[in-house]
Chains A and B, each alone.
Chain A
Amino acid sequence: MDLGIEHYLVLSAILFSIGLYGTLSKRNAVVILMCIEIMLNSVNIAMVAFSRYLVPDVVVMTGHVFAIFVITVAAAEAAVGIAIIIAIYGTRHTIDVEQADLMKW
């Protein structure tokens, strides 16, 4: 059976939901960061699949360009995120997100 855009979009939906579950339910900040990266990856799969399949026999390169920008922003976000986690650990000696509640009203 030939591959279609549905296969890639279903894979993207499954990966996105796994990442969403991890982001919502985990308490360790590093694990939450990993789950966010999985979600960004799944969105990239969807974009590259659209660029491949939306016009037959031709790949529209705009989807690839968007995926490259998403990867760039994800790299910047991960660097700042890890830095924030290390800063929180330096002051509070935990990376449990439920205990980082200084700004909670």
Chain B
Amino acid sequence: MTSVAFYIIAAVAVGSAIAVVRMQDVFRAALFAILSFFAVAGIYVTLNADFLAVVQVLVYVGAMGILLMFGIMLTRDIQQGSPSNRINAPSLLVSVLVMAVMITVVIATDWEDATYAVADLPTIERQVETTEGTTVTEQVTQAILMPDKTLVVDEKGNPVLDDEGEEQYESTKGSTSYVSDALFDKDRGFVLPFEVASVLLLAALIGAVVLVRSKDEE
């Protein structure tokens, strides 16, 4: 089921990306770029990354799409279309070569061999407060992990058994809480990069305003 969805979404993503580079009308190229971003959101869904899919739709399909539209409308160079430059043939050759090399390497690599067991992942020690108020040191994996499947439990936390007495599993509902853990965890999170990213967004905002401000206002 997932593989059928993957092939359809991948075909849409690749087809609309080709349309972006082939289309002579810049506005239609932008519409196809937005379709390609939307298809990538679908790819994220097939990878259990639902939070990223939502972010992709919000940031790329919403904000970036509007931004590209504004860029096209404010520059009014549409009548010139989207011509190729003099190195069209060499750049096509280079990109086909890059694609061939990457696909060859991906196919030739033995990915079964490259996977880790959870026990092989690097661990760190962290101080955890117990309910009695004492702190104990425990070993945890360095990265936050989201299980593919979780045990089905009833209200008391006991596992629900099916007719044959087997424990049941369901796919994990939503990656949002795991993403927030991975971003903001005290020992293993990315809090400083997160703050730096907000400073970067502020700088980009001010920079964009300064760049497009008309000169005669001064």
Contact = CB atoms under 8 A, between A and B. Distances in A.
B31 to A, nearest CB: 10
Contacts of A69: 190, 193, 197
Given A54-B114, A64-B175, A2 B3 contact: yes
B95 A18 contact: yes
A17 B49 contact: no
Interface string B169-203: 00000010011011100000010010001001101
Interface residues of B, number: 92
A34 B146 CA distance: 33
B33 to A, nearest CB: 4
**Main secondary structure on B side of the interface with A:** helix
B211 A86 contact: yes
Contact of A8 (B47, B87, B99, B200): B47
Interface residues of A, number: 77
B52 A64 contact: yes
A8 B6 CA distance: 9
- Would you list the 8 A-B pairs with minimal beta carbon distance, nearest first? A24-B91, A76-B204, A17-B99, A61-B182, A13-B102, A21-B95, A83-B211, A83-B208
Given A7-B3, A37-B64, A83-B211, 11 more contacts: A26-B21, A31-B29, A45-B43, A45-B44, A48-B44, A49-B47, A56-B117, A58-B148, A59-B175, A65-B179, A80-B211
